[in-house]
């Protein structure tokens, strides 16, 4: 397999994965839809930073230890599940305390301020505390590294393809969310959005906890 063939093939696989709705999609849409554009892009950059880190760790063989050690995988899985359930529960509980006009108490794990740094921390934590991302990279990435190439450099290149596709799709999501921002400024619409997003995030946490 040539380098170019490897890149195109990997792009097809992770492209389909990127388009599949999931936790990342929910976080980006919700953060952007409530008018926090800087924080939304921080979430996007955090998620992609986590993806690049998983790619680098896989290329170095570190994540193979995660899949080989049941204890390490279980510990990370429970940590990720607890994080997601807590974040989703806080968001849901905030909706039952009323309809905040300012949106400062939005149930996020971190500050409700519209800052790139807060979004980046949230996106990075969400990605790195999901061991399934690491397991995916361990299972898939080595298959696309051509023989005779530098594993670390090629692994980073492949992960960069995933990051690039993620950035493009995230830009579409942010644009869509901004388009419906006017409607979501209504208190009841905001309440509905937070309850849906909180439920999705908490459900992902429960699913992660119960998965094998």
| pLDDT per position as a tens digit, 90-106 | 777 877 775 443 344 44
Share of residues in the chain with pLDDT > 70 (%): 83
- Enclosing domain of residue 70: 3-82+114-184
Q: Is 38 domain-assigned?
A: yes
Contacting residues for 56 by C-beta, under 8 A, at least 6 apart: 152, 155, 156, 159
Task: Domain count for the chain, please give it.
Answer: 1
Q: How confident is the model at residue 136 (pLDDT cuts 50, 70, 90)?
A: confident
Q: Is 207 domain-assigned?
A: no
Mean pLDDT on 69-78: 74
pLDDT in tens, 190-205: 777 777 877 877 887 7
Q: Is 7 domain-assigned?
A: yes
Q: Is 200 domain-assigned?
A: no
Token code pair at residue 69: 């050690």
Share of residues in the chain with pLDDT > 90 (%): 18
Q: Is 210 domain-assigned?
A: no
> Model pTM?
0.74
d(CA 91, CA 85): 10
d(CA 15, CA 36): 26
Q: Is 87 domain-assigned?
A: no
Q: Is 108 domain-assigned?
A: no
């Amino acid at each position: 397999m040539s380098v170019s063939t490897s890149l195109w093939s990997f792009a097809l696989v992770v492209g389909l994965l990127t388009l599949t709705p999931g936790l990342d999609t929910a976080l980006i849409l919700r953060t952007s839809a409530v008018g926090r554009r800087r924080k939304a892009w921080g979430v996007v950059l955090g998620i992609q930073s986590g993806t690049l880190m998983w790619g680098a760790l896989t290329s170095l063989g570190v994540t193979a230890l995660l899949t080989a050690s049941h204890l390490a995988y279980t510990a990370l899985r429970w940590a990720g599940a607890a994080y997601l359930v807590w974040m989703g529960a806080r968001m849901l509980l905030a909706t039952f305390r009323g309809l905040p006009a300012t949106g400062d108490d939005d149930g996020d794990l971190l500050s409700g301020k519209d800052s790139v740094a807060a979004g980046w921390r949230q996106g990075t934590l969400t990605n790195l505390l999901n061991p399934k991302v690491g397991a995916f990279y361990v299972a898939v990435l080595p298959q696309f590294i051509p023989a005779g190439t530098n594993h670390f450099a090629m692994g980073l290149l492949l992960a960069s393809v995933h990051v690039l596709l993620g950035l493009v799709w995230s830009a579409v999501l942010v644009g869509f969310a901004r388009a419906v921002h006017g409607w979501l400024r209504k208190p009841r619409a905001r309440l509905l959005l937070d309850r849906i997003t909180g439920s999705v995030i908490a459900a992902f946490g429960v699913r992660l906890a119960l998965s094998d």
